Amino acid sequence: MNDQVTLMKGNEALAMAAIRYGADGYFGYPITPQSEVLEKLEEEMPWETTGMVVLQAESEVAAINMVYAGASCGKAVFTSTSSPGFSLMQEGMSYMCASEVPALVINVMRGGPGLGTIHPSQADYFQACKGGGHGDYHPIVLAPASVQEMADFVALGWDLAFKYRCVSLILADGLVGQMMEKVVLPEQRPRRTEEQIREQCPWAVMGRKDMRPKNIITSLELDDDKMEANNHRFQATYREIEKNEVRYELVDTDDCDYLMVAFGSMARIAMKTMEMAREEGIKVGLVRPITLWPFPSQIIAEVAQHVKGILVPELAAGQMIEDVKLAVECKLPVAHFDRLGGNVPTPDEMLKALKEKLINA
């Protein structure tokens, strides 16, 4: 068993976990606050050990299309970026989903819109969960709240991507990316051989070995009926993912009078807020969505049955709250609390908001 505890940044944990997973390639472009992913990979030189390819591309546009190609070849490839860069990658996200290729994409969010700030934000929730590019598609969106989860979700993201032939997106924020915590990295796995990839991914573009029928990865289908059938197939996959892959964490929800729904670093602050509230005799619980898509609507609806109101703290001006309201069908008060532009609230601020917006409202 590998249980060696090390201290590292969330971004570095992403890089190390990818090498340990047996990743075939990383293609990325530096942008704050996630540049440590590429920096760590270059420092580790995995091409000397596992044979993993690491390339600093000329842009996020190039990087995502390199990932598109690698994924089309059945390889375990990934990229990481931050919000402005993720905007540039939306076209590639759409193409990869349309081509049903398994890729891992990481967005360590910073405050926007525009160039915005370099500090933490969660304002890319819509872009991540509602389809930031064109057409009907969904990536699976994983929201880590600790450095350990940054490491763990790399493997989870790839496993899900290969299982469903879809794109997995790790939606972290600058706080989780930059903070240092204890982490236990997974054991080193060998990279898959070409034969193993051909077996696992018979659709992969790797050359027509033994003159098997040719493989084509394309997102183009000009026959409307065939394209509609493609869309129905994508949607069937998404329904399957919704059925099987909803993930969340419940904290103190059994006896709570009020509920908070928060993800990522805001969930961490919410947990401290809940402690302080309990000391004052206010019983608050937390649903922490781990998958933002598929969204844990059902559990939120269940917990909501015995609470008086819900607070949704976000580093965004009201994005996830829409999904919370849909989950509870607006049957009870759902209040919003945010800090924007790269600012992060203190637990005191959050507790004050909880009282003002919900308890004393």
Partner 1 sequence: MENNDIIKIENRVYKKPSLLNDSHMHYCPGCSHGVVHKLVAEVIEELGLQEKAIGVSPVGCAVFAYNYIDIDWLEAAHGRATAMATAAKRLMPDKLVFTYQGDGDFAAIGTCESIHSCNRGESIAIIFINNAIYGMTGGQMAPTTLLGQKTATCPYGRRADLNGYPLSITPLLAQLDGTRYVTRQSVHTPANVRKTKAAIKKAFQNSMEGKGTSVVEVVSTCNTGWKLSPEKANQWMVDNMFAKYPLGDLKNVDAEKKD
Triad 29, 173, 28: Cα angle to 5°: 10
Residue 214 lies near partner 1 (rule: CB under 8 A): yes
The residue within the footprint of partner 1, chosen from 17, 19, 20, 24 (CB under 8 A), is: 24
Element (H, E) at 234: helix 224-244
Figure out which of the listed residues 25, 28, 144, 289 binds partner 1, where binding follows CB under 8 A. 25
Q: Minimum Å distance from CB 90 to partner 1?
A: 11
Q: Does 59 bind partner 1 (CB under 8 A)?
A: yes
- H-helix or E-strand spanning residue 289: strand 284-289
Site residues for partner 1, 120-159, by CB under 8 A, read: none
Cβ–Cβ under 8 Å, residues 125 and 316:
yes
Kind of pairing, strands 140-142 and 291-293?
antiparallel
Residues 67-106 close enough to bind partner 1 by CB under 8 A: 67-70, 72-73, 75, 77, 91-92, 95, 99
Cα 10 to Cα 170: distance, rounded to the nearest angstrom: 12
Shortest distance, position 70 Cβ to partner 1, whole Å: 5
- Collect all residues with Cβ–Cβ distance below 8 Å to 91 and sequence separation of at least 6: 61, 64, 133, 134
Alpha-carbon gap, residue 139 to 97, rounded angstroms? 7
Q: Which is nearer to partner 1, 74 or 296 (CB)?
A: 74
CB 216 within 8 Å of CB 72? no
In the complex, what is the shortest distance from the CB of residue 93 to partner 1, in angstroms, rounded to a whole number?
Answer: 11
Cβ neighbours around 196 below 10 Å, total: 12
Of 184, 206, 250, 344, which one interacts with partner 1 (CB under 8 A)? 206
The reply on whether position 205 binds partner 1 by CB under 8 A is yes
Q: Is 357 exposed, middle or buried (0-12, 13-18, 19+ CB in 10 A)?
A: middle
Which of 58, 195, 225, 254 touches partner 1 by CB under 8 A? 58
For the bound state, the minimum distance from the C-beta of residue 55 to partner 1, rounded and expressed in Å, comes to 7
Q: Is 220 in the site for partner 1 (CB under 8 A)?
A: yes
| Shortest Å distance, C-beta 50 to partner 1 | 13
DSSP 156-210: HHHHHHHHHT-EEEEEEEHHHHH-EEEEEPPPPPPPPPHHHHHHH-TT--S--GG
66 counts as binding partner 1 under rule CB under 8 A: yes
**How many amino acids of this chain bind partner 1 (CB under 8 A)?**
40
Q: What is the DSSP letter of 187?
A: P
By CB under 8 A, tell whether 57 contacts partner 1.
yes
Judged by the rule CB under 8 A, the positions of this chain that interact with partner 1 are 24-25, 27, 53, 55, 57-59, 61-63, 65-70, 72-73, 75, 77, 91-92, 95, 99, 194, 205-211, 214-220
